[in-house]
Structure 1
Amino acid sequence: MSPKTKQYGLTAIKVVLTLAFAAAGIAKLAGVDMMVQIFGAIGLGQWFRYLTGSIEIIGVVLLWVNGTQFIGAGLLLCTMIGALVAHTFVLGLGSAPPAVVLGVLAAVLVFTYRKQNPVAGF
């Protein structure tokens, strides 16, 4: 794969993640009724909705700042792991596929930007 093709692919993944997570994060922070109900069903309290929405917005911003893409993608991947846990044990697996897809896309970016890892540098 040529470097230009790889860059286009990474940009496309970042755009998809940005659109999905920005919309979800804003909905959580704005208190959209569906989000309030989902986090009520999860049972961790509404503070967790605010935390998750904030992490999603921060993750999206970090995807676009040079040198922080690894951290941004890692934050988004962690939120999708949490979403999959919630779907598995509380919400039901019927609505889990988007979390799987977004998690895989975030994992691709984590792997791609792994050299930015400030701890391990692997």
Structure 2
Amino acid sequence: MSTTMTTPRKVRTGTVALWVVQVLLAAMFVMASLPKLSGDPAMVEQFRSIGAGQWLRYFVGGLELAGAIGLLVPRLCGLAAVGLTALMVGATFTNVVVLGISPAIPLAFLVVAVAIAWFRRAEVRAVVRR
């Protein structure tokens, strides 16, 4: 009897914990996107150093914001995590190879996005099959 009581509770606790992590990551990506989209001088200079033009700053900021919103939509949260994973792979590479700065922040975001994508893999498969 205790296993039937604890199994649903564990599932519910895991689901709540995953949503809390998704909301926190979404908030972090919103905070990361706003300086890019608003033209913060530090972001303008950083993207100037990359050498691809300021369109990339807007594009990355838009992807971050879209990913943050996607993390909050039940049908899209897995795909959003996959997309943000790809974005953070690019950010990590750019920080290390192009800018020569610490990749700690994009790596941390990458790890959390990968974890969300892993736990949401069934939802990702369902969306891809449609």
TM-score by structure 2 length? 0.84
Residue of 100, 107, 111 corresponding to 2:107: 100
CA distance in 1, matches of 2:33, 2:101: 21
Aligned position for 2:15:
7
RMSD between superposed Cα atoms in Å: 1.7
Structure 1 gap segments, 5+ residues each: none
14 and 43 in structure 1: CA distance in 2 versus 1, 3 angstrom threshold: same
Indicate the SS of the match to 1:66.
coil
Aligned position for 2:128:
119
Structure 2 gap segments, 5+ residues each: 1-6
Indicate the SS of the match to 1:44.
coil
The alpha carbon displacement at 1:107 in A equals 0.4
Q: 1:58 aligned to 2:66? A: yes
Letter in 1 for 2:49: A
Q: 1:70 aligned to 2:78? A: yes
Letter in 1 for 2:120: Y
TM-score by structure 1 length? 0.89
Greater per-residue helix proportion? 2
User: Number of residues paired by the alignment?
Assistant: 120
Residue of 36, 45, 53 corresponding to 1:28: 36
The alpha carbon displacement at 1:4 in A equals 2.5
